[in-house]
């Protein structure tokens, strides 16, 4: 594995399978009464969040603590960033505190890449602008593998606001590496112009794709990133691209429904679908902890995975 995890494209098939297999081992340990391992004792993980997060920030903190690392949580709100301190100076300040790994979420695409040039420790991209969110793709692949087995030849449909979605880009890259066939379904206004070079198919007809899908991953409509009208009305968007009970009835019996969260219930996904047995949304959150444990463990070269509880 490389020293940093900036993009899902950084991962070879062997790297990705190693992370997923390690996460499987860590999930078994997480079922023990005492979940903590000593593997990263004495190492420091800094969580550097310039954008809001619930799932990613909490799960990276839980992952690092379960591996016995020291954890420093930095949130831009309430920090010297409000006084104009730059990303570089913020990073160097944290570096001076001895960070072995920096987990960064930032509104600017490319911020983790810049950070990797300034710090000695490993950099993990926890979401940068509309670019990538590689650990979300890893936890999604982990969840699919647990429900469906190998991803080779599996048909994964990703639906909605692809244009603003770092989750979609990372998933397309990782799922292609793992042998899945990905189809993006979105209105033409919510697809990036570069989508023709992505390793996936594109459709505008959700109803035609659903019966052929093993996985249907719904994306959040990111209204906070929209500075123009990308669809006529929310009602029209839901009618064309929302997943409701009638659409789920077109899926085959074993197909699953995913969403990275946070959801716009009633818009891209009906509440009854989000809460149905097909939905893996809560599992995805739980799997985020073990998958991020695996990433930190492998990047920081932890030892004794099967070691003693403490």
Closer CB to ligand CP, 56 or 183, in the complex: 56
The stretches of 97-252 forming alpha helices (DSSP H) are: 111-116, 134-148, 166-177, 206-209, 234-241, 245-248
Distance CA 278, CA 215 (A): 10
Task: Tell me, yes or no, if 41 is annotated catalytic.
Answer: no
Q: How far is the CB of 170 from ligand CP (least distance, A)?
A: 11
Of 66 and 166, which has the nearer Cβ to ligand CP?
Answer: 166
H-type helices in 149-196, by residue range? 166-177
Task: Estimate to the nearest angstrom the gap between the alpha carbon of 79 and the chain centroid.
Answer: 26
Number of residues that bind ligand CP (CB under 6 A): 9
Among 54, 80, 86, 189, binds ligand CP (CB under 6 A): 54
DSSP labels, 221-288: --GGG--S-SSS-HHHHHHHH-B-HHHHTTS-TT-EEE--S---BTTTB-HHHHTSTTB-HHHHHHHH
Ramachandran quadrant class, 150 (left: phi over 0; alpha: psi -120 to 50; beta: rest): beta
- The tokens describing 256, both together, are 């699953």
Among 39, 40, 63, 127, binds ligand CP (CB under 6 A): 127
Q: Is 310 annotated as a binding residue?
A: no
83 catalytic? Reply is yes
44 noted as active-site residue: no
Q: Is 165 in the site for ligand CP (CB under 6 A)?
A: no
The reply on whether position 287 binds ligand CP by CB under 6 A is: no
Residue 301 binds to ligand CP (criterion: CB under 6 A): no
Of 39, 56, 135, 280, the catalytic one is 56
- Residue 209: both structure tokens together: 């794709």
Shortest CB 55 distance to ligand CP, Å: 4
Residue 190 CB, nearest approach to ligand CP (Å) = 18
Among 53, 68, 109, 222, binds ligand CP (CB under 6 A): 53
Pairing of strands 215-218, 256-258: parallel
Between 173 and 210, CB nearer to ligand CP: 173
- Report yes or no: 38 and 308 within 8 Å, Cβ to Cβ: yes
C-beta of 164: minimal distance to ligand CP in Å?
Answer: 13
Q: Which of residues 245-274 bind ligand CP (CB under 6 A)?
A: 260-262
CA 24 to CA 81: how far, in whole Å? 38
Cα angle: 70, vertex 75, 76; to 5 degrees = 140
Q: Does residue 109 touch ligand CP according to CB under 6 A?
A: no
Q: Is 164 annotated as a binding residue?
A: no
Q: Using the rule CB under 6 A, give the single segment among 27-35, 48-56, 149-157, 229-237 that binds ligand CP.
A: 48-56
Q: Is 55 annotated as a binding residue?
A: yes
- The helix (H) or strand (E) run that includes residue 24 is helix 13-30
Instruction: Tell me whether residue 262 is annotated as binding.
Output: yes
Q: How far apart are CA 199 and CA 169, in angstroms?
A: 10
Report cis status (omega within 30 of 0) of the bond before 262.
yes
| Closer Cβ to ligand CP, 25 or 283, answer by number | 283
Q: Which is nearer to ligand CP, 202 or 263 (CB)?
A: 263
Residues annotated as part of the active site: 55-56, 83, 105, 133
Residue numbers at the binding site for ligand CP (CB under 6 A): 53-56, 127, 136, 260-262
Residue ranges of the binding site for L-aspartate: 83, 166, 220
């Amino acid at each position: 594995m490389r020293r940093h995890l900036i993009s899902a494209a950084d991962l070879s098939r062997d790297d990705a399978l190693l992370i997923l297999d390690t996460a499987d081992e860590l999930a078994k340990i997480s079922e023990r009464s005492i979940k903590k391992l000593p593997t990263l004792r004495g190492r420091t993980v800094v969580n550097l969040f310039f954008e809001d997060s619930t799932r990613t920030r909490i799960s990276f903190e839980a992952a690092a603590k379960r591996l016995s690392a020291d954890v420093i949580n930095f949130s831009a709100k309430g920090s010297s960033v409000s006084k104009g301190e730059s990303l570089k100076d913020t990073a160097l300040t944290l570096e001076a505190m001895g960070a072995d790994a920096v987990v960064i979420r930032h509104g600017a695409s490319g911020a983790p890449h810049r950070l990797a040039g300034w710090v000695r420790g490993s950099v993990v991209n926890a979401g940068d602008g509309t670019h990538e969110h590689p650990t979300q793709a890893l936890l999604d692949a982990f969840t699919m593998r647990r429900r469906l087995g190998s991803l080779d030849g599996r048909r994964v449909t990703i639906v909605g606001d692809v244009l603003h979605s770092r989750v979609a880009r990372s998933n397309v890259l990782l799922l292609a590496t793992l042998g899945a066939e990905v189809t993006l379904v979105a209105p033409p206004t919510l697809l990036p112009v570069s989508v023709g070079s992505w390793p996936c198919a594109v459709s505008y007809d959700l109803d035609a794709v659903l019966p052929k899908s093993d996985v249907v991953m719904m994306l959040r409509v990111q209204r906070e990133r929209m500075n123009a009208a990308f669809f006529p009305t929310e009602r029209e968007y839901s009618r064309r691209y929302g997943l409701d009970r009638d659409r789920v009835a077109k899926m085959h019996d074993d197909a699953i429904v995913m969403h990275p969260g946070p959801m716009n219930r009633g818009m891209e996904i009906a509440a009854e679908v989000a809460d149905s047995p097909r939905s893996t949304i809560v599992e995805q959150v739980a799997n985020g902890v073990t998958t991020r444990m695996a990433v930190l463990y492998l990047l920081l070269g932890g030892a004794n995975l099967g070691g003693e509880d403490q």
